A and B are shown apart, each in its own frame.
Chain A
Amino acid sequence: MSDYIFYPGCAMESSARAYDISLKAISKTLGIGIKDVDDWNCCGATEYLSISATPAYALIARNLALASRQVNGSNTVMASCSACYLNLTKADHNMAVDPKFGIKINQALEAGGLSYQPGALEIKHILDIMVNDIGLEKIKSKVKRPLEGLRVAPYLGCMVPRPDYASRFSDAEQPVELDMLLESLGAEVVDFPLRTACCGGHMTQISPDTAFDLINRLVKAADDQQADLMVTACPMCQMNLDAFQGEMNHHFKTNFKMPILFFTQLVGLAFGYEASELGFGLELVSAKSALSKLGMKAPESDSAAKVKKPPKGELPMPAPLPKMPRSAEKEATQ
């Protein structure tokens, strides 16, 4: 059993719970031990870097310093969110190639009694660990329910493959790892050249039209290939394509209903877990149709979690006239 120091990142507890739930489930099957970085903090996403570099990197480096204290046998830090993964990698890389900068960040850490030696940790994305550490053969051997007939668009987004620091595991523009993993689960991987195109990042909050355009391109490309669903390895991509798909549809007068899932959810399905054990139902564009293709039902929580309509009597409207059966009507008039 290999152990990993895990940096979950904020989204795993909020918008990307399905990623967290499914990851924890499949890690049991794969025999991976996961130990969170104790008292980790937010990596700052793309926001702190926009405001001020030194505190932004110090914020990231506190996590590196805490993780390096937990090194016990394995020095690999596993990240699930691609922005977290990039930020951790980026801080480690820049502290190493720019020693003056590394000293500056360590001076900041020192104020909190911490320090980090660049290169002390190996930072890896879950996808890298699954394909390169665990290996596709082992994953294939755990498949109990092959995803036959399921057409999947593999969408990786920007920050897993780019920028191509020396430690990166995949091609910067057309990586094949996610495709290979999905194929090993028995899924039919559609031709999806936009696999590393941008989902718009925080543009849904800055310049919505820019974001809608990018979201539209991606969803349309998957739909053109008659994909049943898209999978991602990034909470931001999942949120943009899933939660903003409705607003995007409204903007372009389209009617896409493309389910957006985390790749770990599909791994879990193939491993034989039930949809309810993998965070299905947490997506806004329902994955019901895709699940039914596998002969599976969406979990109960899916329908139960929908906005409950208040009982009719409580609505501030005139109550509709009760419809009486004809016979009763006759009796009443008599």
Chain B
Amino acid sequence: MTELQTVDLPTTIPKHKKSLLSEVAARTAGKSNIEMCIQCGTCGGSCPSAADMDHTPRAIFALLKAGVRDEALRSNTPWMCVSCYYCTVRCPQDIHITDVMYTLKNIAVEEKIYTDSTAPDFSKTFINMVENYGRSFEVGLAGIHNLKHFIGRLPGMTPMVIGMLTKKGMPITPPKRIKGMAQLKKILKRAKELEAV
């Protein structure tokens, strides 16, 4: 872990230079309240996957506040977030922690600086299907993803896979495209342009 050298509070940063904290706040939909963190640690204490994170959410907020960009963005913390929102509802400062985690993932994907590609690849495979059919395709997604990232796990998964296809009768062919596929593509194209602004 990089040692924290200086802690630059947003007020001490020259106006022309956007702080990491305000960058993350600006990119988070709704009100993030991220600048309100008092480092109490309620988030990490409430997190069901904290044990598998490089940094607890509290430590991530300290890094963001201190402007330690690289370490914050390379951390596996946002990728280990299970989106359960325990931290969000327990935060005494009303910080939308789960949404901040989404923003950190967005920046890491954009700048390709994540350390482990398992989670970003899963998300990308998922959205690739949504962008092509307008619907998700669970069997195809699990198949592609596990062949790429968990090939050794497949023998142990076989009974489950057989159950999914026979007992549960999950479709093995892609879903029918939505009628407004062209419309959805236009919307997403415009949204991507707006995201880049």
How many angstroms between the C-alpha atoms of A51 and B188 in the bound complex? Answer: 13
B40 at the interface (CB under 8 A from A): no
- CB pairs A–B below 8 angstroms (26 shown): A10-B137, A41-B178, A48-B130, A50-B119, A51-B106, A51-B123, A52-B110, A54-B191, A54-B192, A55-B195, A58-B191, A93-B30, A98-B29, A101-B29, A104-B194, A162-B86, A162-B89, A198-B82, A198-B84, A201-B82, A206-B122, A210-B82, A243-B168, A247-B156, A284-B160, A307-B167
Instruction: Report the count of interface residues on A (CB-CB < 8 A).
Output: 73
Which range holds the interface residue count of chain B? Answer: 35 or more
- Of residues 126 to 157 in B, which have CB atoms within 8 Å of A's CB atoms? 126-127, 130, 134-139, 142, 145-146, 150, 153, 156-157
Q: Hey, what's the 0/1 contact readout for B101-131 against A, CB within 8 Å counting as 1? A: 0110110011000000011101110110010
A332 at the interface (CB under 8 A from B): no
How many angstroms between the C-alpha atoms of A53 and B122 in the bound complex? Answer: 17
Of B5-13, B15-23, B61-69, B169-177, the segment with at least 4 beta carbons within 8 Å of chain A is: B169-177
Q: Would A201 and B83 be within 8 Å (CB), given that A41-B135, A104-B194, A307-B162 are in contact?
A: yes
Q: Would A44 and B130 be within 8 Å (CB), given that A164-B89, A203-B49, A243-B160 are in contact?
A: yes
Is the pair B106, A101 in contact by a Cβ cutoff of 8 Å?
Answer: no
Residues of chain A within 8 A of B159, CB atoms compared = 246
Is the pair A112, B180 in contact by a Cβ cutoff of 8 Å?
Answer: yes
B1 at the interface (CB under 8 A from A): no
Q: Would A305 and B169 be within 8 Å (CB), given that A94-B30, A108-B194 are in contact?
A: yes
Known: A51-B127, A198-B84. 10 other contacts (CB 8 A): A15-B164, A48-B126, A50-B105, A51-B109, A52-B110, A54-B194, A98-B30, A201-B84, A202-B82, A203-B49
- Of residues 39 to 66 in A, which have CB atoms within 8 Å of B's CB atoms? 39-42, 44-55, 57-59, 62
How many angstroms between the C-alpha atoms of A48 and B180 in the bound complex? Answer: 19
Which residues does A use to contact B, with CB under 8 Å? 10-11, 13-15, 17, 39-42, 44-55, 57-59, 62, 93-94, 97-98, 101, 104-105, 107-114, 158-159, 162-164, 172-173, 197-198, 200-203, 205-210, 214, 243-244, 246-247, 250, 281-284, 305-307
Contact partner of B83 (CB less than 8 A), chosen from A104, A159, A246, is A159
Which residues does B use to contact A, with CB under 8 Å? 27-31, 48-49, 52, 79-80, 82-86, 88-89, 96, 98, 102-103, 105-106, 109-110, 118-120, 122-124, 126-127, 130, 134-139, 142, 145-146, 150, 153, 156-157, 159-160, 162-164, 166-171, 175, 178-180, 183-184, 186-192, 194-195
